[in-house]
């Protein structure tokens, strides 16, 4: 990983940590206030709602204005949302903060993925670059929840929100002096066909469906851990640690992926991840303490952490170069549409049946969906 990519990854960690910290703290605050699991589902859905509608415009903005301007704008929006939550920590304001941080991260994800995709020259470089890029969100899934949990236990929720508001601004400071990398030869975008036409491409449809199964499992883990931890009487810092260990495991996997991906195909890695994820989710509800939850979290992180880089590599290989921006936006829009709908389902199902059936439903779906990975 060169210096420029390291700066972008570090800046992304700061921005994404703002969202992941809010995504742990805000639901926990509502749970302690006596809100239902269904209300938590609505709140978590808001983190992805703005990304559903902004995915395609974000791709166009990244093409026209570049990744650095996108990051600056996203940082301002995310910091503003977290600051509002710190000043007025009420349900509606927390929902607004969720929308802001979700929109900010969605914009930067598309811009960075397009930027990094242009910097590579062959398949091996592509896999390696996306493995390094995916480390950013993985690390932020550790830093955000853990730091928010510790601050909540020591000082309180408002201080945690203030900390989250500072993180995106630190990211902007990291990028000072970084000159945006422009492609040597601009790729002409194909505007003759709508982005929706890409759904006619069967390999892309299968890839997006597989990505949906796995991202839904990731969402289920993020949603259910605070609820399961609350049911077990676990502290905020312990819940943050469980989520943080998931992120650390995902980070370790992604650091090893450049070596692993030279020996295994994308479809083999994704297939194995789906089977292990199904087995782990089946066992998760039997966790009786933070220690056993941590073990399940680490196993999930090790295997789910491998998925995104392999999906991104496969996507760039099966779509034309001049449609990469549209394909990336469709992928993000698809998984974020799921991230809106699935928490609503998780919340309703948890309220009606308890937490265990949610884990088992997701385990069954991802196991059955693994057959699609074999056809990629």
Tens of pLDDT along 272-330? Answer: 899 999 999 999 989 878 888 999 999 999 998 888 778 877 777 777 666 666 676 77
pTM of the model: 0.68
**pLDDT computed for residue 121 by the predictor:** 60
pLDDT on residue 126: 65
* pLDDT tens-digit series, residues 249-279: 888 887 787 777 677 788 888 898 999 999 9
Q: What is the pLDDT of residue 187?
A: 46
**Which of 3.40.50.1100, 3.40.640.10, 1.20.1250.20, 3.40.50.970 is the CATH number of 3-172+199-374?**
1.20.1250.20
Residue 125 in this model has a pLDDT that exceeds 70: no
The structural domains of the chain, with segments of one domain joined by +, span 3-172+199-374
- Express each pLDDT in 103-116 by its tens digit: 888 888 877 777 66
Does residue 148 register a pLDDT over 80? Answer: yes
Residue 276 confidence (pLDDT): 94
Q: Is the dihedral of CA 254, 179, 182, 110 positive or negative?
A: positive
pLDDT at 184 over 50: no
Mean pLDDT of 162-167: 94
**For residue 193, pLDDT beyond 60:** no
Q: Report whether pLDDT(369) > 70.
A: yes
pLDDT of residue 117: 62
Mean pLDDT of 94-108: 89
More confident site: 295 or 35: 295
pLDDT at 14 over 80: yes
Residue 42's pLDDT is 84
Count of residues in the chain: 376
Q: What is the reported pLDDT for 221?
A: 87
Decide which of 75 and 141 is more confident: 75
> Is pLDDT at 196 greater than 70 in this prediction?
no
Asked whether the predicted pLDDT for residue 190 surpasses 60, the reply is no
Average pLDDT value for residue range 359-367: 91
Residue 146 pLDDT: 87
Taking only the tens place, the pLDDT of each residue in 20-31 is: 999 889 988 988
Q: Which residue has the higher pLDDT, 262 or 168?
A: 168
- Per-residue confidence (pLDDT) for residue 101, from 0 to 100: 92
Considering the chain, what is the average pLDDT of its residues? Answer: 81
């Amino acid at each position: 990983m060169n210096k420029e990519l390291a700066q972008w990854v570090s800046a992304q960690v700061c921005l994404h940590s703002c969202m992941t910290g809010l995504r742990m703290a805000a639901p926990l605050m509502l749970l302690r206030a006596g809100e239902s699991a269904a209300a938590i589902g609505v709140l978590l859905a808001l983190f992805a709602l703005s990304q559903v509608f902004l995915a395609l415009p974000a791709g166009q903005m990244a093409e026209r204005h570049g990744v650095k301007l996108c990051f600056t704008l996203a940082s301002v929006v995310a910091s503003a949302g977290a600051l509002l939550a710190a000043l007025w920590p009420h349900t509606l304001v927390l929902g607004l903060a969720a929308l802001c941080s979700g929109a900010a991260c969605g914009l930067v994800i598309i811009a960075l993925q397009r930027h990094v995709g242009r910097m590579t020259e062959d398949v091996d470089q592509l896999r390696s670059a996306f493995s390094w890029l995916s480390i950013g969100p993985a690390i932020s899934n550790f830093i955000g929840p853990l730091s928010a949990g510790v601050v909540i236990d020591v000082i309180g929720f408002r201080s945690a929100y203030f900390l989250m508001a500072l993180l995106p601004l630190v990211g902007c400071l990291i990028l000072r002096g970084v000159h945006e990398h422009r492609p040597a030869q601009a790729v002409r975008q194909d505007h003759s066909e709508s982005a929706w036409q890409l759904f006619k491409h069967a390999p892309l449809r299968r890839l997006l469906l597989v990505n949906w199964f796995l991202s839904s499992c990731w969402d289920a883990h993020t949603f259910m851990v605070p609820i399961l931890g609350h049911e077990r009487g676990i502290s905020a810092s312990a819940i943050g640690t469980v989520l943080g260990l998931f992120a650390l495991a995902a980070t370790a996997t992604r650091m090893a992926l450049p070596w692993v991906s030279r020996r295994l195909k994308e479809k083999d890695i994704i297939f194995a991840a789906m089977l292990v994820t199904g087995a782990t989710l089946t066992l998760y509800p039997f966790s009786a303490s933070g220690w056993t939850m941590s073990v399940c979290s680490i196993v999930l992180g090790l295997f789910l952490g491998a998925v995104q880089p392999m999906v991104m590599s496969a996507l760039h290989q099966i779509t034309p170069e001049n449609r990469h921006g549209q394909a990336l936006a469709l992928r993000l829009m698809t998984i974020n549409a799921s991230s809106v709908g699935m928490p609503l389902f998780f919340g309703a199902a948890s309220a009606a049946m308890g937490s265990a059936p949610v884990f088992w439903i997701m385990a069954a779906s991802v196991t059955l969906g693994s057959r699609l990975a074999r056809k990629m």
